[in-house]
Copies of this chain bind each other. A is one copy, B any other.
């Protein structure tokens, strides 16, 4: 079985490593060969809009997938005429645009922050008048890890936010006073079967995921999150792993965003669940039976952002699982790796998490 993966970042790398034991060969397409994915599987280099090159790359693959959300839709659509592309480009189209995404959530009865499209300065005035402050002005597209966002604490902040982002298609969202952030990941197979992981609790710093704990054992929130995710997945006839990030507000879940791919908040599943999100993504898109998603113990995952810890110091932490993405260049804000620890109880896990934090 051969899977053609557009984008060769760390997500692709972990997909490929989970594929080998299944007899699945992932091949990558990216702009540069020396990528996390390209170090562990064959890679074709080219621009993401070079359709002939992409078509040649996908030739002979059983399925095309992507590890990066900003793949041009036109490229995926062209490939989809030759080879199955999962998750469906339609899901990616929605995930690429915060306005489409929030609108879909609303249409499906999935709660969101109040939001309004902002194209012109007067739209921003109107949005703030209706929704109030504080709020966040965001670019509709190409935002990730907190990029393309401006907080508006009061009307006095309008000018600065507009100066930073005005001119691009934007969305204004009311600020959600959440107690916690949680995400749900699920794999959906080609026949519509759905395997949901336990909810995880996430902590972001500077807009970037810093740490995840799982499972969040909360039956009511789990059921609610699964209902929301199922609605979204059904809408697309979705195939593959889908992630939805939620704000937890009292006993409610407010959907923040969806990711039509394996997701950083699911890295804990490599050691902390029976089947990892990466293996289940491959199983789903290849039409194979999905694997069990139950947690094995209590997991904590910490991202290494901007720098990797000393490997000797990291591996001296009992039970630590290191994941070095093989990136040659450390840059501030760049995810270079992560570590996961799995322990039999939540309290032991939380103590170990304190130790992991000191590494990050």
**Taking beta carbons and an 8 Å cutoff, which residues of A are in contact with B?**
1, 13, 17, 20-23, 25, 39-40, 274-275, 283, 288-289, 291-292, 296-297, 308, 311-312, 315-316, 318-324, 326, 337, 342
Contacts and interface: CB of A to CB of B under 8 A. Distances in A.
Given A23-B308, A288-B311, 8 more contacts: A13-B20, A23-B322, A40-B40, A274-B342, A288-B312, A291-B315, A296-B296, A296-B342
Nearest to A22: B322
Contacts of A39: 20, 25
Nearest to A41: B40
Nearest to A341: B274
A275 B40 CA distance: 21
A107 to B, nearest CB: 35
Contact of A22 (B20, B297, B311, B319): B311
Contacts of A17: 17, 20-21
A289 B311 CA distance: 9
Contacts of A22: 311, 315, 322, 324
7 closest Cβ pairs, A-B complex: A23-B324, A289-B316, A21-B323, A289-B315, A292-B319, A288-B315, A274-B319
Contacts of A20: 13, 17, 39-40, 324, 326
Nearest to A270: B21
A291 B319 contact: yes
Contacts of A13: 20
A275 B17 CA distance: 17
Contacts of A292: 318-319
A21 B322 contact: yes
Nearest to A21: B323
A342 B342 CA distance: 15
A42 B21 CA distance: 18
A17 B39 CA distance: 12
20 contacts: A1-B311, A13-B20, A17-B21, A20-B39, A20-B324, A21-B321, A22-B311, A22-B315, A22-B324, A23-B311, A23-B326, A23-B337, A25-B39, A288-B312, A289-B312, A289-B316, A291-B319, A291-B320, A292-B319, A296-B297
Contacts of A322: 21-23
A1 B288 CA distance: 35
